[in-house]
Amino acid sequence: MKILLTNHHLALLGGTETAAYTLALALRGAGHEVSIATVEPGAVSEALEKVGFEVAVDLGEWRGRGFDVIHAHHNAMALTARYHFPRTPMIFVGHGVLPELEQPPSVDLGIGVFAGVSEEVRDAWRHKHGIEDTEVVRNAVDCERFHPREPVGAALKRVLVLSNHFPDELRAVVGKACDQVGAEIGYCGLEDGAVWNTEEAVNAADLVISLGRGIVEAMACGRAALVFDWHGADGIVTADNYQEIRKHNFSGRRFRRELDAEGLAEEMRKYQPEMGETNRALALEHHDIRKAVSHYEEIYRRAIDAGVPDGLPPLPGPEIEAFQHMWREHVALKADARRLASEHQRLRMELDSIRPRVRSMMWRLEEERRLLKKDLEKGR
């Protein structure tokens, strides 16, 4: 199939960005021709281009291409894709319930199949948007890339926090909890220097604290996994609670526990090395990208068979074009802001490094001035 995959942002190493990257590679590996559209390019879109994918920032440039199906992430991209490809079958996939971009489009785009990564998405769309049938296709990772490279420790010694947004108050809780259980702690994410080879950081830990996709990556690597983040806590993942926690995509919203340092340490003490093997088996069964691709192929065929219904409401073409233009300017300004922030940080670090030398020089000058003054007074 010729598939148009849309993802609103592909600039940073976030959840839907890495999900889109993983899916594109797996679809191509299954023999499909995949083209990608985004309005916020960056690190992930560049990585896709490096391995041979076409990436469009302006979908108008591809208008008239013969795609078999549109796989749309994010409502703004679904709207834009439908405007440029009015007769191409489309599926819409949601990865969460909170971000506005993850909500279903507010106008009828003739979407053939709605899909979401969890029962939480399915139920929210039913209750808030009246969508009765939502297919659940779980968050999936490349289980060949994310695989155990070494066994976890017999006792908990190494903890990794894998998160792009982990506030200081939670860091303090995790730090105290790790002190209580005698474990070292490391951080990986946008705030701590995001890395492309996340699997290496994950494999260096016995237990990974994260949410969403980070939990799935930890499980695939055969690590113990603990759901704890700014949404709340679902605790350490076990064979007994896995089915419940996954209903909310490992977000912390299933049980919504509020853990202090003592409570988190208590969860950490549940660590058992056997959890790694159990989690690996669960990831292979339920979160392998190759199985997700097979599921999506079946969904694509259903959408293609259903086609695009006639009589859809007309879309505001000029407004969509204006939005795209404004957003591209916005993205350019964000890139400039990040560049200036980075330069500001570099200059501040440089200034901090020379401050001691300047103070030392000022002290020596002051000492020389004092001695010179003393010599002059003697000469009188």
pLDDT in tens, the chain (380 residues): 999 999 999 998 899 999 999 999 999 999 999 999 999 999 999 999 999 999 999 999 999 999 999 999 999 999 999 999 999 999 999 999 999 999 999 999 999 999 999 999 999 999 999 999 999 999 999 999 999 999 999 999 999 999 998 999 999 999 999 999 999 999 998 887 778 899 999 999 999 999 999 999 999 999 999 999 888 899 999 999 999 999 999 999 999 999 999 999 999 999 999 999 999 999 999 999 999 999 999 999 999 999 999 999 888 877 777 777 777 777 777 777 767 876 777 788 788 888 888 888 888 888 888 887 777 777 65
> CA–CA separation, 40 vs 73, rounded Å?
13
Strands, E assignment, 137-237 = 158-162, 184-188, 207-210, 224-229, 232-236
> CA–CA separation, 64 vs 282, rounded Å?
43
Does residue 243 contact residue 233 with C-beta atoms inside 8 Å? no
Instruction: Flag whether 73 is in a domain.
Output: yes
One domain for residues 263 and 195: yes
One domain for residues 197 and 255: yes
pLDDT at position 334 is 72
Residue 165's identity, in one-letter code, is H
Alpha helices, DSSP H only, in the chain?
Answer: 15-29, 43-50, 75-84, 119-129, 168-181, 198-203, 213-220, 242-246, 261-268, 274-286, 289-306, 317-379
Token readout for 238 is 């076990």
One domain for residues 231 and 203: yes
DSSP letter string, 184-211: EEEEESGGG---S-HHHHHHT-SEEEE-
Residue 178's identity, in one-letter code, is C
Burial label for 329, CB within 10 Å (0-12, 13-18, 19+), is exposed
Q: CA distances (Å), 127 to each of 26, 68, 91, 124, in order? A: 33, 31, 20, 5
* CB neighbours of residue 133 within 10 Å: 10
pLDDT at position 368 is 82
Instruction: Flag whether 329 is in a domain.
Output: no
One domain for residues 132 and 220: no
307 phi/psi in degrees, rounded to 5: 70, -170
User: Do the strands 184-188 and 158-162 form a parallel or antiparallel pair, or are they unpaired?
Assistant: parallel
One domain for residues 124 and 25: yes
Does residue 146 contact residue 222 with C-beta atoms inside 8 Å? no
pLDDT at position 347 is 80
Q: Helix, strand, or coil here: 316?
A: coil
Structural domain total, the chain: 2
Instruction: Flag whether 153 is in a domain.
Output: no
Q: CA distances (Å), 93 to each of 60, 78, 86, 217, 308, in order? A: 22, 10, 19, 20, 17
Instruction: Flag whether 265 is in a domain.
Output: yes
Q: Which helix (H) or strand (E) holds 342?
A: helix 317-379
CA 165, 169, 173, 174 dihedral sign is positive
Query: For residue 19, how far is the Cα from the chain centroid?
Result: 7
pLDDT at position 308 is 96
Does residue 39 contact residue 106 with C-beta atoms inside 8 Å? no
One domain for residues 220 and 293: no
One domain for residues 191 and 126: no
Instruction: Flag whether 361 is in a domain.
Output: no
One domain for residues 281 and 181: yes
3 phi/psi in degrees, rounded to 5: -115, 130
196: containing domain: 158-286
Q: Which of 308, 341, 357 is the last residue of a domain?
A: 308
Query: For residue 273, how far is the Cα from the chain centroid?
Result: 27
Q: Helix, strand, or coil here: 302?
A: helix
User: Do the strands 224-229 and 54-56 form a parallel or antiparallel pair, or are they unpaired?
Assistant: unpaired
One domain for residues 191 and 232: yes
One domain for residues 125 and 108: yes
Q: Which of 308, 340, 356 is the last residue of a domain?
A: 308
One domain for residues 271 and 187: yes
Does residue 45 contact residue 6 with C-beta atoms inside 8 Å? no
Does residue 206 contact residue 159 with C-beta atoms inside 8 Å? yes
Q: Which residue, 298, 266, 115, is CA-closest to 176?
A: 266
One domain for residues 130 and 172: no
Instruction: Flag whether 352 is in a domain.
Output: no
Domain of 47, CATH number, reads 3.40.50.2000
pLDDT at position 380 is 59
pLDDT at position 379 is 66
Instruction: Flag whether 261 is in a domain.
Output: yes
Instruction: Flag whether 319 is in a domain.
Output: no
Residue with token string 């971000």: 99
Q: Which of 245, 278, 308 is the last residue of a domain?
A: 308
